[in-house]
Amino acid sequence: MCIQVRLDSTSIPNTKPSCNTGQMNSDFGVKWNNRTAQQLVSYESLFRLIDEIHPLEDILEIAQRVARQWKYFANVAAWRLVIQNDDVYTVIDGVHGKAVIENVEMPSSWDAHFMRSRRPALFSVSDIPDSPSVPEHLVSKKISQIGVIPFVKIESCYALITVAALHEPFTDIDKKFIRLFSSHLTSLIHAILIQKRTTDTLIKKATHDYLTGMLNREAIIERLDIFFRLSKRTGDPLSIVIADIDHFKRINDTYGHPAGDRVLQSVSRILTTQTRDSDHVGRYGGEEFLFVLYPCEANQALQAAERRREAVLNHPVPISENADPVRLTVSFGLSTMTHDDISPDYLIARADAALYEAKNNGRNRCVFQ
């Protein structure tokens, strides 16, 4: 059987769009174009900021730029980055276009909680837990949402970033930009911290005495040279002190060189605890220590030396587990810069002569020349 189907104009549906359908398509196109343009602008802002901060080595400058510009490509009104930095934590807070950096021994309860859990989280304002408490600058009245992103290596969380959305919750594109930029920012700052720590370690090894932790001879002489020239220029007084442990050879001969090392370490700790932040002390050689005091007049230097002499005298030093602590004494030679001192060597020579006099007159005393 053959079935014929007649197709005429009445049987064909009207496929011409109505006015309403055309308007909807037009509105959708406008919205799509606007959203695409907005995303392109956001991408441009994102990559521009990455290009700006990538060559920088100053963490505060990086943080300041991020605090000013992150809001332009993601809805980030405030943020906190915590990075484990050897035995401390570097904490960077950004809010209102400004950034603050500090090093702390322990992270906040909020940071510690998410670093332990190693899991990302997203909270609306109403869902933010009471404990652990969120950092204050991340929960202002205009904040609508908070996101947490941990960064993990070898099953250990070495960094954590918390971001806060302003007014409206984060969109999908916001979240994408936040993950992308957070990863770059964290990697950059972590690398800078590692480089700085490595450099500091090398500098310390080059400038500090391995046994006492004080400045070594070259470094303390360099400090003296700097302050000598500064004193010449400003007229502010410069004083130096050479300290020598009395009868140190007897300690080595009686108890052995390991005991002598413990004495040097103990005496150096006692001497440095009596030192101002503006003063410098180093191991001058053997059992001798050199103090550079600036600005410091003669009578102030003498008082400082007396405090150190009494501190050593009143703190017996343990030699070994089987021996009683030994009461030590230290002799001090002092000098203050005068117009006749044409180089640091003259200042050292006078202090050395004063120390020689202190040794000859019974030790355990301070002599000024």
98: buried, middle or exposed (CB in 10 Å: 19+, 13-18, 0-12)?
Answer: exposed
91: buried, middle or exposed (CB in 10 Å: 19+, 13-18, 0-12)?
Answer: buried
Record the tokens describing residue 321, joined without a space.
């587990």
Going by C-alpha positions, the residue among 75, 22, 21 that lies closest to residue 46 is 75
Q: Which amino acid is at 351?
A: A
DSSP conformation letters of 204-219: HHHHB-TTT-SB-HHH
Residue 318: per-residue pLDDT: 87
Residue 57: per-residue pLDDT: 95
3-state secondary structure at position 104:
strand
Record the tokens describing residue 314, joined without a space.
């009143």
Residue 356: per-residue pLDDT: 97
Sequence length of the chain is 369
For 34-192, give the CATH class.
alpha beta
Alpha carbon 335 to chain centroid, angstroms: 37
Which residues in the chain land under pLDDT 50? 1-17, 28-30, 32
Residue 22: per-residue pLDDT: 54
Residue 327: per-residue pLDDT: 94
Phi-psi region of 220 (alpha: psi -120 to 50; beta: other; left: phi over 0): alpha
Sign of CA dihedral 293, 298, 300, 303: positive
How far is residue 234's CA from residue 230's CA, in Å, rounded to a whole number? Answer: 6
Strand 239-245's sheet: what is its strand order? 280-285, 288-293, 239-245, 330-336, 366-368
How far is residue 243's CA from residue 322's CA, in Å, rounded to a whole number? Answer: 29
Strand 121-124's sheet: what is its strand order? 98-104, 88-95, 76-85, 156-166, 143-153, 121-124
**Which positions are annotated as active-site residues?**
287
CATH annotation of 217-368: 3.30.70.270
How far is residue 274's CA from residue 214's CA, in Å, rounded to a whole number? Answer: 14
Domain boundaries in the chain? 34-192, 217-368
Going by C-alpha positions, the residue among 245, 247, 344, 259 that lies closest to residue 289 is 245
For 269-320, how does the pLDDT look when each residue is reduced to its tens digit (9 = 90+)? Answer: 999 987 887 899 999 999 999 999 999 999 999 999 999 999 999 999 988 7
Task: Find out whether the peptide bond into 295 is cis, omega within 30 degrees of 0.
Answer: yes
